[in-house]
Structure 1
């Protein structure tokens, strides 16, 4: 089993920067703003032949009793309980802070192996930058630079020394599910309900989640990765630079996922922004399930009103399943996960060429494409061109003249024939090319010209008799 390294420290000491370097990614949002990371953020790393899990945590405020800081501290302590090794980061440029002493005392009581890393030490004399941190009594401090990589490998090799080497594992193929929607619709609550623990901070304040948080969990013997994302506001309301980065991370999470769960709030009107998010999911070609949350908090009149708004503004999502749930109490969440499994299976389906061609020929026989000017498109055969979303490539003559309405007709026909519920479907046309079209004949050689001349003379003699 891979050892778990947990990065702990007060706000803005460079935990997310070090996390990105260890995972060789840009998964954690980094900005010169204290308290940017709020939830536990997991990633995979490897040093030599030793793989490991690394956990980025929010800025640790051990004396906070209420509010978002207390929730962040709770998340950090949960990560410490799960970890095999704790890496306590301090800031070498600001020096030893009173808060560092409190954190050091809390971490010492956990009994976990503990390493002290003095970050932001680039360009500084190592002996002088670590000198004052001996006061914490946590052993020999290690000077590192998370931004530049100095001393990082030595630190991780030291932390992993007691653990055995492991061979590289093959990449696992399991559904990645992005939970998306506007702020404060219950995305983090839904993640916690699916996982069965308070894995991410669910707080009654819009914008609590700032980063995209990846959560691995298992249900009924099947593995999943959930991606909790920041709420996406209308462009005109996004003012902070951090929030702009959060929106970008959300859109990237949709691209990285196999299935997106669009969360709506039954207590609010279905907004144009909900339709915009759904449109982006569709353009990205991701399978989709819609969860209308807080259904238990509205009366029957409001429920009918919500259903009418969905039909009016989200009618283009006719291929997706809608679920009316309560993420807080868990009602309807089980059926939601079943639909996610179905959508994932549809998005990754393998479509055999003979059956695709048969369905195409039956569709054309039932309803032939309309003639455009002098041309009538003639589809001949079809094959699969990709997955997630399924892409069906149709070959034939004059297909560049195919009407968009006929493309939609074929999409619906293939969806019904292969039961592709929950995923968009793309039909592409590839017209056969005439190899002689637009080509000039090659000039005859002198020998060929003389032979052609003799043949013309011979034909004239034959027809003149």
Structure 2
């Protein structure tokens, strides 16, 4: 993946796709219907109410018309606690949508919760398409007809599981969308993509909420609350970023089950999609093997990185002393990453993340001219030549930075070089040129041996 273009500062007009919010009470099959419309398994589906907790957006297309589907958590009128937050997310999705797809379970009939959703929809004055789901065959069509009593117009009988009736439903949905596309002024260069990653329950969602300055993502002290990547455009310290909140990465994908399995796959995809990763570590607990595996994943993906030690408000002097030792012992391989001690709960030092992100971005994008690089390599070889191996001493003939994002150097040599010497070159590259916050890759291309004459 190449570097993002530098912002030119000039705003351009861009057509904004219409937005469809998919709402309904829990477990009526909203996510299954979203997957049916998309034609691929994107939304997390499990036969447990409340698996989808946040607003999650997907690009969709029907008959050549593009729109954005926003899948929401189940809406419960007298919701308390976490359910209340899910309901708030659904209301926010309705407020920002151009049209609403209201999903009901035809096999259960109209419940009080459905009536409560209808009241919210009427207040919103948004066009509504009613999907009577779980009509798997003709015998159930009469059940869908009873949904006329909701007063939202014609109920469209569909089976999200089997695809029955989905074409008619989508045609009606397109008719409900505005004809004229909305236009918005956007910067020519998109915001830097920043993924918030870490093991479950370290405070990733709390951090996103603090940065977004609104309840954008459902937060709970239940481990692994966030199960879908959720994007949010936020401003931090005067810089605009596209933040990607991710599900907590499980120990190993094969150990995860159900919706966690799919969420862990998409979390890795979020790292791949990001340009900078904020690795969140719980400062109040010992650094774990799981933390180290995620750090390795970010480095292997070649992404810039900032390490945020969260829950700093829960640490005392003794814990901080232990943490210093753990960092020296366990995080030595990533000492190139800038660190920030934060509390997502109180907001402590959260504004300092912007400076760390920009430092990591600059290191990730750094380019070294071929002339400057070879002058550096010449000095290095003169002061610290490669050790003699088997009577021969491999030499660096020429070097070039093949690409940046992350900085990747290819060295053409007279013979193979030891791994410790490669690491020595990488260390000296960092000392001379910085690359703070970015992995640095060094590749050796040994000259082919000539055949004996």
- TM-score category (smaller protein): 0.7 to 0.9
Larger RCO, structure (CA 8 Å, separation 6 or more): 2
Instruction: Give the C-alpha shift of residue 233 in structure 1.
Output: 4.4
Q: Is the 1:288–1:343 Cα contact (8 Å) retained in structure 2?
A: yes
Match of 1:83 in 2: 97
Once residues 62 and 368 of structure 2 are traced to their aligned partners in structure 1, the CA distance between those partners, rounded to angstroms, is: 41
Q: Show the counterpart of 2:299.
A: 282
Q: 2:270 aligns with which of 243, 247, 253?
A: 253
**C-alpha displacement of 1:343:** 1.1
CA contact (8 A) 1:40 1:75 kept: yes
Equivalent residue in structure 2 for 1:364, among 381, 402, 407: 381
- 1:10 maps to 2:25: yes
Q: Whose radius of gyration is greater, 1 or 2?
A: 1
How far apart are the structure 1 equivalents of 2:229 and 2:336?
26
CA positional deviation for 1:311 = 1.8
Q: Which residue of 2 aligns with 1:297?
A: 314
Q: Displacement, 1:319?
A: 0.7
Kindly indicate whether residue 176 of structure 2 is the aligned counterpart of residue 159 of structure 1.
yes
> 1:332 matched to which residue of 2?
349
Report deviation, 1:217: 2.6
TM-score by length of 2: 0.86
Q: Which runs of 5 or more structure 2 residues have no equivalent in the other structure?
A: 1-15
- Per-residue displacement from partner, 1:235-273 (whole Å, max 9, x unpaired)? 599564333333333222222222211112222222222
Structure 2 contact 219–225 (Cα < 8 Å) conserved: yes
Q: What's the counterpart of residue 53 of structure 1?
A: 68
Partners of 2:129 and 2:173 within 8 A in 1:
no
Instruction: Evaluate the alpha carbon distance shift between residue 47 and residue 361 of structure 1 in structure 2; reply closer, same or farther with a 3 A threshold.
Output: farther
TM-score (norm 1): 0.83
User: What is the CA–CA distance in structure 1 between the aligned matches of 2:156 and 2:128, rounded to whole Å?
Assistant: 12
Task: List runs of 5+ in structure 1 lacking aligned partners.
Answer: 442-465
SS in 2 for 1:109: helix
Taking the TM superposition and a 5 Å limit, the aligned residue runs for 1:12-411 are 12-20=27-35, 26-47=41-62, 51-64=66-79, 66-92=80-106, 94-121=108-135, 124=138, 128=142, 130-144=144-158, 146=160, 148=163, 150-151=167-168, 153-164=170-181, 172-219=189-236, 222-235=239-252, 240-398=257-415, 401-411=416-426
Number of aligned residues: 434
SS in 1 for 2:124: coil
C-alpha separation between the residues in 2 aligned to 1:437 and 1:95? 82
Higher mean C-alpha displacement, 345-354 vs 267-276: 345-354
Structure 1 residue 19: deviation in Å?
A: 3.6
Counterpart of 1:329 in 2: which secondary structure?
coil
Q: 1:123 to 1:411 in 2, by over 3 A?
A: farther
In structure 2, distance between residues paired with 1:153 and 1:236:
35
Farther-moved stretch of structure 1 (204-213 vs 142-151) = 142-151
Report the Cα distance in structure 1 between the residues aligned to 2:39 and 2:236, rounded to whole angstroms: 29
Distance 1:381 1:146, change over 3 A: farther
- Distance in 2, matches of 1:137 and 1:268, equals 54
SS state at 1:75 partner = helix
The 1:349–1:15 alpha-carbon spacing in structure 2 relative to 1, beyond 3 Å, is farther
Change (3 A) 1:326 1:14: same
Residue aligned with 2:73, SS: coil
* Cα distance, 1:223 vs structure 2: 3.5
Structure 2 match to 1:416: 431
Structure 1 residues 153 and 416: CA distance shift in structure 2, 3 A:
farther
- Summarize the Cα distance change of 1:26–1:356 in structure 2 as closer, same or farther, 3 Å threshold: farther
